[in-house]
Chains A and B, each alone.
Chain A
Amino acid sequence: MPDTFAFSHDSQRCIKCFTCEIACKQWREIPPGTFRLRRVYEVAGGEFPAVTRTFHSEACRHCPDPPCAAACAPGAITRDEKDGIVRVDAARCDGCRACLPACPYGVPQFGPGGVLQLCDLCADRLAEGKRPMCSDSCPTSALRWTGPAQGD
């Protein structure tokens, strides 16, 4: 097992189609109007007509030494050394949101009861030898799974 699981996202190929965001939501059956584990957004700059738009798709990066975990007083966030996945213990999370400013990527989102929700790299799919749902659904291959090629 490598140290980190990750995706690569190529902004040059991203067309802000929201597919990856919805792929995640529907596969995980996340109720609409609540939280998102993956989020598509853009950074726009300049003034008409010299405008730039750059597109991003962000989810938890499963940092090797997660700053969010360091900031979490109740110790609800842990990185599983076996599979490299950063997981949340819902029973321990007290909804203090200290993880949010600690995360360099603004990833943390909070679900029912104010509990932190994190991408788990589609552990169910990995277990079946498939790749995560979000990257598997991207129509332009801007978002690619760079983790172990299980099921390939």
Chain B
Amino acid sequence: MSPNQPNGGAAAEKIVPTFCHGCGSYRPTCAVLCHVRDGRFVRVEGAPAAFNAGVRGNTALCAKGLTGPQFVYAADRLQHPMKRVGAKGEGKFQRITWDEALDTIAEKLLESKEKYGPESYAVLSPEFWPVLGSLGRRFLNVHGSPNYLHSAICATPRMAAARVTTGYISMAPDDWMKTRLIVNWGGNVENSGVNQGAPRAMLNALANGAAMVDIRPMLDPMGAKADVWLPVRPGTDCALALAFLNVIIEERLYDAAFVAEWCHGFDKLAEHVAARTPEWAAPITGLPAERIRETARLMGTTRPMFVRMGNGIGDQAGDGTATVSAVCLISAITGNLDVPGGQFAGGGFGGSAPVSWLDEMLPAGMVERLVAPEAPVWYQTPDRWESGPTSAYYKALMSILTEKPYPIRVLNASCSNPLSATRNPRRVAEALTKLDFMFAMDIFKSPHLDYADIVLPACTSYEQGDYFGVRPTPDGLRVAPYNQVVEPLGEARSDWRFYLDLAVRCGYGEHFWQGDMDAFMGEMLAKHGVTVADLRENPGGMFVRPPAPAGAPAAAPGPSQPEYRKYAKLFKDLPHGKVQCYNEYIGGRPDCTGTGVLPYLPEYQGPPEGLAETPALAADYPLILSDVHAYRLAQHSYHHDVAYLRELQPYPWLRMNPATAARYGIADGDWVRVESPHGWSRFVAEYFPGISPEVLMTKRGWWQSCAELGLPGYGTGDGGSEVNNLYNSDERHFDTFFSQMPKQTLVRIAKWEEA
């Protein structure tokens, strides 16, 4: 065997099917086959039987998914429960037993409940995480606290803005082959869930002759294939959307019949956008007016059109709700709602919770006691919420410092690093320092753990068998277990186990199957007609048909024609049963802060610091800075410890146009000091022609070191490499409907040399 073949051959390997951990814990999206040699997880491949990305026989994964073994054996894994023995932030810990850890947490939780009320306990929500979406929420309800601290980022703010405008949000057309125009607006498809189907589907549509518009500050890979690339200035998408509406209405490109029958307040909208011409939007967005006009015409005249909104718009701008509403209205008035190849209604997010959250156990009046309602309290009712009531992550952390309306006292900060997941890490660190008690369960040594009182080691998805994945396929519903690939490292445990154990210690055992994992799993599985024994007997998964209703013949196999134009149903919760061009659903009602009222029409607000918005400031800080929400070689701020991924992005990168770099005497690969009115951080210049010379883009979260490559992690405060250190975190700039925080600022840059 040549040195090209260092592997020992597949014969000596045990193959264990399970699900990838790359897109986050317990998110059974891509099924994998894990190869184990001598008790060690050594390599991984896609599982052909699992319909990954909905494709029969698909063995594709993505860069992250293929680094499963390196993820498991990374040097910065937590392996033992610990208690803090030094000052907060100092990072001195002592190893303790699981029993001591669990007893301490239970004791503090009950003590704080007794002294300050149950709402003094809050839990940080990371990216969507089934553990929190099931047991975590149930625990909050049984304990009595509403304070699930959601990021105010991601899909829910977008979904809410769409829900109050057009009744629903569409995540994909019914059939991409029917779509004639794709508008990818802030959608980071080649970076987020790469193997979950979106890039493949869009490429198929392009090959089928569809046109594409890509609206993002950087020319990303899909943008490079688009017919039109609009490099909008970060944070000005709302102005662009209003200008599109202006042209489409002005030039009568809308679907007059749909508007007449299904739109409420169209004339008021028309009047509102009359002055929002492309010429008005051009100096705000940095795009030529003619380019805006041409694109609006393309969007107004090409049907069916599918507009895919992503994390780039709506959820990280202070006018995010207005932006999403305006984009939804473009789809609506052009007649693209729920038509073949357009904004199909169906599928969508989530589905029902795997087990009941026991909402009825949340004491009455607790929604009103949310420490910092993410959305207005009146909006937070069971028919509308995705995961139960929510407080906004950043604002709730600030309550610890301001004590308004009351301070959170006990915080569960698991699987989310608040020094990188939200704005202003310096203020967040102050808040964590002031907490009465903080505990956190994580896989890796995240910097926020230095502020915890108790730290618990979580295992990866490859080290446990406490969950399962369910996916509809042409062969029936596929139900497959997570199988333990290798023994947990050290004393790491699954977070499912942790929640059950903690609940029992708090005296909540009767609501948590007395800590019996199989009983809990059995309840989750029951609705699919599967038992835990079935699951264990079928480690490679099983196909079950949905049980036919009693007396009815089993459903005929094969795809059925979807139902379109379900308008009466889709708009049933909207005032007048119509699309809200003039929004009477939210307009005039209290905003999320409880101090103002919401607007009736989408209005441009823009970033708190911008070239057009704050020209005086721009004289001193002449460049725009923003960051990508997702990047294909990392999952949020994790995966930088994985050598195969880190060698492809070794340093905290800052993409800049070579012309900009030349102006400041910065060479490709130089460290750059980036200073905003709020702080300074340093990044490494990466020449990139596909970005405006007035814009810089980076990625957040560079705290992880990579021992294998000898590369350090970087701090989150001044002089570190955390972009959240640079943004404006004044809550007055946050969206007043769903608390979205702006992530655009102005900066000045200079070459940075190590002192």
Chain A residues within 8 Å of B, Cβ to Cβ:
12-19, 21-23, 25-30, 32-33, 37, 44-49, 51-55, 87-90, 111-112, 115, 117-120, 123-124, 128, 133, 136-141
Contact A137 B61 (CB under 8 A): yes
Known interface pairs A32-B644, A112-B3, A124-B7. Does A26 touch B69 (Cβ–Cβ under 8 Å)?
A: yes
Contact A29 B6 (CB under 8 A): yes
Tell me whether B344 is interfacial, beta carbon within 8 Å: no
Contact A53 B221 (CB under 8 A): yes
Give the residue name and chain of the A residue nearest to B223 (CB): A53
Give the residue name and chain of the A residue nearest to B60 (CB): A139
Give the residue name and chain of the A residue nearest to B53 (CB): A139
Using an 8 Å CB-CB cutoff, how does the interface string of B679-713 with A read, 1 for contact, 0 for none? 00000000001111100000000000000110000
Q: Find A124's partner among B10, B194, B219 (CB 8 Å cutoff).
A: B10
Q: Which of B44, B221, B709 has the most CB of A within 10 A?
A: B221
Contact B60 A88 (CB under 8 A): no
Known interface pairs A55-B221, A137-B59. Does A118 touch B4 (Cβ–Cβ under 8 Å)?
A: yes
Q: Which of B59, B66, B70 has the most CB of A within 10 A?
A: B66
Complex CA distance for A23 and B708, rounded to whole angstroms: 19
User: Which chain B residues border A53 with CB–CB below 8 Å?
Assistant: 219, 221, 224, 690
Given contacts A33-B708, A141-B60, 20 further A-B contacts (CB under 8 A): A12-B207, A15-B190, A17-B632, A19-B195, A21-B63, A22-B67, A27-B45, A32-B646, A32-B647, A45-B689, A48-B657, A48-B659, A51-B224, A53-B221, A53-B690, A54-B224, A55-B224, A87-B4, A124-B5, A124-B7
Contact A51 B4 (CB under 8 A): no
Known interface pairs A29-B43, A48-B690, A55-B221. Does A136 touch B59 (Cβ–Cβ under 8 Å)?
A: yes
Give the residue name and chain of the A residue nearest to B69 (CB): A26
A-B CB contact pairs (8 Å), 22 listed? A13-B203, A13-B207, A16-B190, A17-B63, A17-B190, A19-B62, A22-B63, A26-B43, A26-B69, A27-B43, A32-B70, A48-B231, A51-B219, A51-B224, A53-B690, A55-B224, A112-B3, A115-B3, A118-B4, A120-B4, A124-B5, A140-B203
A45 → chain B, closest Cβ, in Å? Answer: 8
Contact B3 A18 (CB under 8 A): no
Tell me whether B482 is interfacial, beta carbon within 8 Å: no
Complex CA distance for A29 and B70, rounded to whole angstroms: 11
B712 → chain A, closest Cβ, in Å? Answer: 15
Known interface pairs A44-B690, A123-B5, A139-B195. Does A32 touch B708 (Cβ–Cβ under 8 Å)?
A: yes
Contact B66 A19 (CB under 8 A): yes
User: Which chain A residues border B7 with CB–CB below 8 Å?
Assistant: 27-29, 124
Tell me whether B257 is interfacial, beta carbon within 8 Å: no
Give the residue name and chain of the B residue nearest to A32 (CB): B643
A7 → chain B, closest Cβ, in Å? Answer: 15
User: Which chain B residues border A45 with CB–CB below 8 Å?
Assistant: 689
Give the residue name and chain of the A residue nearest to B649 (CB): A18
B199 → chain A, closest Cβ, in Å? Answer: 5
Contact A49 B231 (CB under 8 A): yes
Complex CA distance for A141 and B2, rounded to whole angstroms: 29
User: Which chain B residues border A120 with CB–CB below 8 Å?
Assistant: 2, 4-5
User: Which chain A residues border B225 with CB–CB below 8 Å?
Assistant: 12
User: Which chain B residues border A12 with CB–CB below 8 Å?
Assistant: 203, 206-207, 225
Complex CA distance for A120 and B203, rounded to whole angstroms: 30
Contact B224 A88 (CB under 8 A): no
Contact A18 B63 (CB under 8 A): yes
Complex CA distance for A128 and B42, rounded to whole angstroms: 19
User: Which chain A residues border B10 with CB–CB below 8 Å?
Assistant: 124, 128
Give the residue name and chain of the B residue nearest to A36 (CB): B647
A125 → chain B, closest Cβ, in Å? Answer: 8
Give the residue name and chain of the A residue nearest to B632 (CB): A17
User: Which chain A residues border B644 with CB–CB below 8 Å?
Assistant: 22, 25-26, 32
User: Which chain B residues border A54 with CB–CB below 8 Å?
Assistant: 224
Interface hits, B154-190 → A, CB 8 Å:
190
Give the residue name and chain of the A residue nearest to B225 (CB): A12
Using an 8 Å CB-CB cutoff, how does the interface string of B36-76 with A read, 1 for contact, 0 for none? 00000011111000000100000111110011011000000
B51 → chain A, closest Cβ, in Å? Answer: 14
Contact B194 A19 (CB under 8 A): yes
A33 → chain B, closest Cβ, in Å? Answer: 6
Tell me whether B330 is interfacial, beta carbon within 8 Å: no
Tell me whether B222 is interfacial, beta carbon within 8 Å: yes
Complex CA distance for A37 and B724, rounded to whole angstroms: 37
Using an 8 Å CB-CB cutoff, how does the interface string of B199-238 with A read, 1 for contact, 0 for none? 1100100110000000000010110110001010000000
Contact A28 B62 (CB under 8 A): no
Contact A28 B199 (CB under 8 A): no
Q: Which of A14, A29, A90, A117 has the most CB of B within 10 A?
A: A29
User: Which chain A residues border B59 with CB–CB below 8 Å?
Assistant: 136-137
Interface hits, B615-665 → A, CB 8 Å:
632-633, 643-648, 657, 659
